[in-house]
């Protein structure tokens, strides 16, 4: 039988009633002729509760025990859904990560999936099991210890299973009914997309859209796994949601597909650093070693052998960046006059595969922002993306203006 992967996020399994509702969706797909692999998250709020317990118990906790604790939320959900399906006369059983097994690296709380052998689950399908309910977010390292994949890891688990089992599709059930042209909370003209290309979804996810976890989209693009994002709270509709697929599967698309944003950005400037070969490496290597996720980078015009270097990073990594730069200065690796952090900025981006072949998109974006009196602090581009850093107070205005200017409300 064909295999379908269905993933239910925390809000979709937040209580027994919602687990029952999700189970009915699974039973419907079984009736449609699928063997189903269900990936479940912990019930909404449970992971945060477990993390809180760990922090209360031990501030300098053992990461291996942290994973043992926080992975338990998904195990509870998997067991409850299996019980519910059995009550509905659907042959189902729960699977923990180590039982599959989901083989991962040994980096606790940030493990990466290395392999998912299919033998155990396929054998059970052959014996009459119709649904494998798998605890998402977790796996097992070579040393036999439980690992977790980091926040949003259940999305990654779902796509990895779809790739490993050659699933017909991977349905991601969440609390939104698809991927929108922008955040509907900011623009009431935001439109749900029927289809979006992998590359566009990857850019939107990395730029702040919360619908899918970035690593899950990377996996889907690499292994050509068709993803469907849809709501677990709406009535059944086989055409519902947004399909994330190959560019070739989209007949026609707008030049710009969406406007993304990130509020939690900071702009940092090293003032008066030496303009010499190797200076960029001397700055960004210690930042990388300190775990600072640098995004935009701008180097000013050199004057008398000195220049300013500006970069952006998440606002919660500013202290880490300042510490890394001070340490590098004390070690004599770099020399700068001062480091200035602006933590009141936001990033706004437009994304679209049509930008590859359409001229004038950047000019139009800049003109729109200029018309609204919004100053651009930093710019970065790729083939299908254009991002700017602006004052945070103008974020919503910028998103609305760009959405209107590119007429994203029109199909």
Residue numbers in the known binding site are: 7-10, 47, 74, 174-175, 180, 185, 210-211
The angle subtended at Cα 381 by Cα 325 and Cα 257, nearest 5°, is 130
Annotated binding site for ATP: 7-10, 174-175, 180, 185, 210-211
User: Does the CA dihedral 216-159-109-289 come out positive or negative?
Assistant: negative
Q: Name residues whose C-beta falls within 8 Å of residue 30's C-beta, 6 or more positions apart in sequence.
A: 36, 90, 130, 131
- Is residue 321 a contact partner of residue 313, using CB atoms and an 8 Å limit? yes
What is 277-299 written as a DSSP string?
TTHHHHHHHHHHHTT-----EEE
Axis-axis angle for helices 214-223, 153-165 (nearest 10): 10
> Coil, strand, or helix at residue 191?
coil
How many CA atoms lie less than 13 Å away from 162 in the CB half-sphere? 29
- Cα 284 to chain center, whole Å? 24
**Buried b / exposed e along 307-339 (16+ C-beta atoms within 10 A):** bbbbbbbbbebbebbeebbeebbeeebbebeeb
> Coil, strand, or helix at residue 207?
coil
- Cα 409 to chain center, whole Å? 24
CA–CA dist 204, 249 (Å, integer) = 19
Annotated binding site for substrate: 47, 74
């Amino acid at each position: 039988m064909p295999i379908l992967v269905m993933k239910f996020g925390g809000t979709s399994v937040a209580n027994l009633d919602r687990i029952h509702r999700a189970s009915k969706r699974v039973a419907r797909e079984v009736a449609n002729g699928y063997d189903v692999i269900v990936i479940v998250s912990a019930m909404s709020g449970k992971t945060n509760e477990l993390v809180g317990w760990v922090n209360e118990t031990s501030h300098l906790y053992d990461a291996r025990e942290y994973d043992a604790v926080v992975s338990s939320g998904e195990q509870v959900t998997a067991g409850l859904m299996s019980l519910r399906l059995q009550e509905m006369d659907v042959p189902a059983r729960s699977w923990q990560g180590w039982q599959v097994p989901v083989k991962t690296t040994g980096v606790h709380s940030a493990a990466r999936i290395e392999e998912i052998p299919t033998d155990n689950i396929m054998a059970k399908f052959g014996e009459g099991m119709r649904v494998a309910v798998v605890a998402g977010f977790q796996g097992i390292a070579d040393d036999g210890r439980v690992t977790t994949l980091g926040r949003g890891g259940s999305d990654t688990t779902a796509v990895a299973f779809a790739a490993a089992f050659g699933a017909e599709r991977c349905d991601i059930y969440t609390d939104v009914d698809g991927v929108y042209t922008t955040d509907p909370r900011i623009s009431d003209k935001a439109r749900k997309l029927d289809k979006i290309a992998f590359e566009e979804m990857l850019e939107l996810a990395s730029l702040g859209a919360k619908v899918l976890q970035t690593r899950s989209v990377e996996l889907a693009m690499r292994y050509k796994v068709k993803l469907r994002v849809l709501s677990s709270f709406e009535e059944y509709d086989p055409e519902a949601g947004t399909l994330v697929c190959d560019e070739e599967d989209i007949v026609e698309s707008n030049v710009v597909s969406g406007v993304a944003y990130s509020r939690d950005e900071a702009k940092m400037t090293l003032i008066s650093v030496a303009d010499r070969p190797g200076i960029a490496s001397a700055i960004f290597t210690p930042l990388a070693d300190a775990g600072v996720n640098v995004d935009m980078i701008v180097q000013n015009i050199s004057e008398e052998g000195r220049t300013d270097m500006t970069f952006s990073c998440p606002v919660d990594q500013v202290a880490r960046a300042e510490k890394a730069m001070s340490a590098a200065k004390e070690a004599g690796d770099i020399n700068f006059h001062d480091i200035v952090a602006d933590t009141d900025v936001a990033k706004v981006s437009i994304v679209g595969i049509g930008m590859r072949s359409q001229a004038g998109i950047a000019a139009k974006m800049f003109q729109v922002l200029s018309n609204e009196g919004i100053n651009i602090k930093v710019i970065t581009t790729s083939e299908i993306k254009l991002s700017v850093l602006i004052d945070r107070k103008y974020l919503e205005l910028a998103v609305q203006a760009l959405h209107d200017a590119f007429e994203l409300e029109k199909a």
